[in-house]
Structure 1
Amino acid sequence: MSIKFRLTIMSFLQFFVWGAWLITVGNYWFATKQWSGADFGAIFSTLGISSIIMPAITGIIADKFVNAEKLYGVLHILGGLALLYIPQVDNPTTFYYVIFAAMLCYMPTISLSNSVAYNILKSNDYDVVKVFPPIRVWGTIGFIVAMWITNLTGNKASYNMFYLSAFAAFALGIYSFTLPKCTPQKLISKDASVFEKLGLNAFKLFATYKMALFFLFSMFLGGALQLTNMYGDVYLSEFAKVPEYANSFVVKYSTIIMSISQISETLFILAIPFFLKRFGIKQVMLISMLAWVLRFGLFAYGNPVDGLWMIIMSCVVYGMAFDFFNISGSLFIETTTDARVRSSAQGLFMMMSNGFGAFFGGLLSGMVIDKYFTHAGVRDWHNIWLSFAGYALVIAILFAVMFKHKHNSNAVANGSH
């Protein structure tokens, strides 16, 4: 079995674990459990808190102390145990703590999976920038397959989604122990300071203006990242409350409609090497931000009948919005940081985007929607999505003005500085 194929299996299962419940948990929360909207925002903030605490720590451990593939496997098995317990939970407070435990284990595996893949590909003399995106595509396919299974088996509001996720997590945890060894880099001299030995020198990246801005905008964009994951399926499902849309395809198969977003991802991931070489990191990230404006704006004006094309176009645009920042950002870190701190730097990127960004985005969006856009239990989706589009537009304008980066197509093509 080839190295690329083995990493493809890892990537597929990595995001299958997430896709089994992430998009549909809102339906479980609102329709099955009938818990409050403000509390739901707190649930998604666990992704953020976990990404603040764990990826940088696990990146340091993988850089200095433990084989990355073994740490990766242990985290998936522990996360699977938490997911397995969720169906037994019968109140929102306990649900919060159990999902928090699952996320403490899962969120660092996203950046760790990148580090494992980069390490194995480089040790086998592959060009990371060219070879990694097609492997990462299969992560998105795993996410899509999980979503379709959840919807087509009638479990988009059922606790069975957590059992499916747990099973995949156990399978991936065991499988990861068979991967090639990713030993700690241990490139630091005996005379190094305690600060360096602990891997905390990755935080020195914040002292560089360009890197500090990159991480800052990663946080701001991370605030938008989980919004459609949180509310997209609920938004489509709630068209059932409108008589003329109640029996529409969109309402019945909302999760499958949402999966167009992930299908779009697969296409845009494959386009990343071309766009990076042609336009450079700044333009690619700016395109991502403008795509978020379109994503939210099209949702604001869409409906399941004559506005169906807007919903579908919003899902298509998502692929560009998501990939052009996340995958390009990860490759940017890989090609502009020192080998001694790369796993730690990937952890920092994760901490800012899926950490602080998702935390504030999840918490504040839940409160704002509940206070300003919910009337007598009915959510005003049109103005919710417009407010999100306005937020993304402000971020895009600030990024275009403030972030300075000179494009070098040869550096991107070679995967070097």
Structure 2
Amino acid sequence: MKNLVRFQLSAMMFLEFFIWGGWFVTLGTFLGNNLEATGTQTAMAFSTQSWGAIIAPFIIGLIADKFFNAERILGFLHLAGAVLLFMMYTSEDFGTFYPYILGYMILYMPTLALVNSISFFQMNDPEKQFSGIRVFGTLGWIIAGLVISLVFAWDAPEARAEGMLRNTFLMVAIASAVLGLFSFTLPKTPPSSKGEKVTLSDILGLEALALLKGRNFLMFFIASVLICIPLAFYYQNANPFLSEVGMEDPTAMMTIGQISEVLFLLLLPFFFKKFGFKITLLAGMLAWALRYLLFAYGNAGELVYMLIIGIALHGICYDFFFVAGQIYTDSKAGPKIKSAAQGLITLATYGVGMLIGFYVAGLISDLYLNADGSHDWEQIWIVPAGFAFVVMILFAIFFKNEKLDKKVIEKI
């Protein structure tokens, strides 16, 4: 790969995830502080990610894969997204804010697939080259959190009281406009199925439903949907929780999770070889339960280390279940329905699973809301901890251990 192309793809990935991390992490805190949103309204806002994930395949399948170059669609979506992000910045109440965030996430979620498509098209050996490009996305998410906390201090108590978290939307609106314009300079990525008939079955990955006939894959599929419920609690409540209990620089502290994600990704092949797929997934699910128990009983004082460990467990939580699950799906599907299988899992988890999860997290947050506007966080975190533990036990009982092909592990 030419150095110029490598730089272009790396910059694209950096901006793609800088934009997402620059507002999504602090969204719950912003809604509560700036718009006085209830837990249910906050759930509605976060659920737009799921609606975007559900609608995204139609945009990619019906438009990007048939009619237009991927880099041009990426540019258009980010330019339109910049306008919506600016409108979110100017919103004064939840009723005004919600249509903008819904429209934005419908536009943004397809870009996650587009940046991957653009990258893969330029690579002659994606298995070796992609990780070196994708890591800039994680770096972009981390930098966004550090900028919010350490450069501008928008999440500091005084700044939150003055409504400064609103500025995160202005920051990422500018970044989205930059990426939108930059996208038109990216290497050309023509439609992958121009002239071919794309069916609804292709878009939704329905060919992969045949995999559910196997007991193991069915149990994995169900567990994947269910574990997204406690995952939604983290995305929706972690930043408001850390801010409310008084942790210093909460958004910057949450970047520890992304750093651990990179580190544990390196350990994933070792766990696969040493302990097998089932134990690896069980370790990921156990980490979810432990994380929420640490959040429930830790504090920003003498027990702050419990909160930091809970954040750092994000690497195990995400890599040992979701990344491991993607690899497992890849190994079970085979080359013919590989894309359909990954699409089906994504639709089930980030679409259906997290849609349910955000709704439940909103109800629980409202249920344990105190009269003074604070929350009973111990009770809130006990719910996803117990739920993750139950899913882990059911998976341990009904999933029969199996070894993955060595060639699959070597690809990690």
Instruction: Give the alignment's TM-score, normalised by structure 2.
Output: 0.86
Instruction: Give the whole-Å Cα distance in 2 for the aligned partners of 1:64 and 1:402.
Output: 42
Distance 1:55 1:320, change over 3 A: farther
1:97 equivalent in structure 2: 99
1:387 equivalent in structure 2: 383
* Letter paired with 1:52: I
**Residue 234 of structure 2 is aligned with which of 220, 228, 244?**
228
Distance 1:345 1:180, change over 3 A: farther
Tell me the SS of whatever aligns to 1:17.
helix
1:58 equivalent in structure 2: 60
**Residue 150 of structure 1 is aligned with which of 141, 148, 151?**
148
Distance 1:21 1:187, change over 3 A: closer
Offset at residue 255 of structure 1 (A): 1.4
* Letter paired with 2:130: F
Instruction: Give the whole-Å Cα distance in 2 for the aligned partners of 1:272 and 1:79.
Output: 35
CA contact (8 A) 2:23 2:172 kept: yes
Distance 1:400 1:68, change over 3 A: farther
Offset at residue 32 of structure 1 (A): 2.5
| Cα distance per residue 1:355-377 (max 9 Å; x no partner) | 11221111121112212x22323
Aligned ranges for residues 111-190 of structure 1 at < 5 Å?
111-121=113-123, 124-126=124-126, 128=127, 130-152=128-150, 153-156=152-155, 157=160, 158-186=165-193
Matching of residue 109 in structure 1 with residue 89 in structure 2: no
CA contact (8 A) 2:49 2:109 kept: yes
* Letter paired with 1:32: N
RMSD: 2.8
Instruction: Give the whole-Å Cα distance in 2 for the aligned partners of 1:402 and 1:180.
Output: 47
Matching of residue 374 in structure 1 with residue 369 in structure 2: yes
Distance 1:256 1:229, change over 3 A: same
CA contact (8 A) 2:331 2:404 kept: no
2:225 equivalent in structure 1: 219
1:207 equivalent in structure 2: 210
* Letter paired with 1:226: A
Higher relative contact order (CA 8 A, sep 6+): 1
Instruction: Give the whole-Å Cα distance in 1 for the aligned partners of 2:401 and 2:129.
Output: 25
Distance 1:28 1:405, change over 3 A: same
| Cα distance per residue 1:88-141 (max 9 Å; x no partner) | 2122122111111111111222233334434433xx134x1x443343332222
Instruction: Give the whole-Å Cα distance in 2 for the aligned partners of 1:344 and 1:315.
Output: 33
Distance 1:164 1:350, change over 3 A: farther
CA contact (8 A) 1:46 1:103 kept: yes
CA contact (8 A) 2:78 2:179 kept: yes
Offset at residue 53 of structure 1 (A): 1.9
**Residue 27 of structure 1 is aligned with which of 3, 19, 29?**
29
Matching of residue 257 in structure 1 with residue 263 in structure 2: no
CA contact (8 A) 1:111 1:346 kept: no
2:395 equivalent in structure 1: 399
2:88 equivalent in structure 1: 86
* Letter paired with 2:141: F
| Cα distance per residue 1:221-252 (max 9 Å; x no partner) | 22222322211121122124xxxxxxxxx2x3
Matching of residue 320 in structure 1 with residue 316 in structure 2: yes
| Cα distance per residue 1:33-68 (max 9 Å; x no partner) | 323222111111111122122235424644444433
CA contact (8 A) 1:60 1:344 kept: no
| Cα distance per residue 1:155-210 (max 9 Å; x no partner) | 2342110011112222223333333344344399x8x8x748x7247212122225
CA contact (8 A) 1:13 1:172 kept: yes
Instruction: Give the whole-Å Cα distance in 1 for the aligned partners of 2:400 and 2:59.
Output: 29
Instruction: Give the whole-Å Cα distance in 2 for the aligned partners of 1:125 and 1:303.
Output: 47
CA contact (8 A) 2:269 2:410 kept: no
Instruction: Give the whole-Å Cα distance in 2 for the aligned partners of 1:293 and 1:136.
Output: 28
Distance 1:397 1:2, change over 3 A: farther
Distance 1:217 1:63, change over 3 A: farther
**Residue 39 of structure 1 is aligned with which of 41, 49, 55?**
41
* Letter paired with 1:106: Y
Tell me the SS of whatever aligns to 1:379.
coil
| Cα distance per residue 1:294-347 (max 9 Å; x no partner) | 111111111112211111111111111122333333444455546566555444
* Letter paired with 1:208: L
Instruction: Give the alignment's TM-score, normalised by structure 1.
Output: 0.85
For structure 1, the residue ranges without an aligned partner over 5 or more in a row are: 241-249
* Letter paired with 2:94: P
Distance 1:161 1:70, change over 3 A: same
The structure 1 segments of at least 4 consecutive aligned residues displaced by more than 6 Å after TM superposition are none
Distance 1:166 1:272, change over 3 A: farther
Offset at residue 219 of structure 1 (A): 2.1
Tell me the SS of whatever aligns to 1:208.
helix
* Letter paired with 2:70: A
Instruction: Give the whole-Å Cα distance in 2 for the aligned partners of 1:19 and 1:415.
Output: 28
* Letter paired with 1:322: Y
Instruction: Give the whole-Å Cα distance in 1 for the aligned partners of 2:398 and 2:4.
Output: 44
Distance 1:347 1:50, change over 3 A: same
What is the aligned length?
397
Instruction: Give the whole-Å Cα distance in 2 for the aligned partners of 1:324 and 1:8.
Output: 25
- Identity %, equivalent residues: 37
1:245 equivalent in structure 2: none
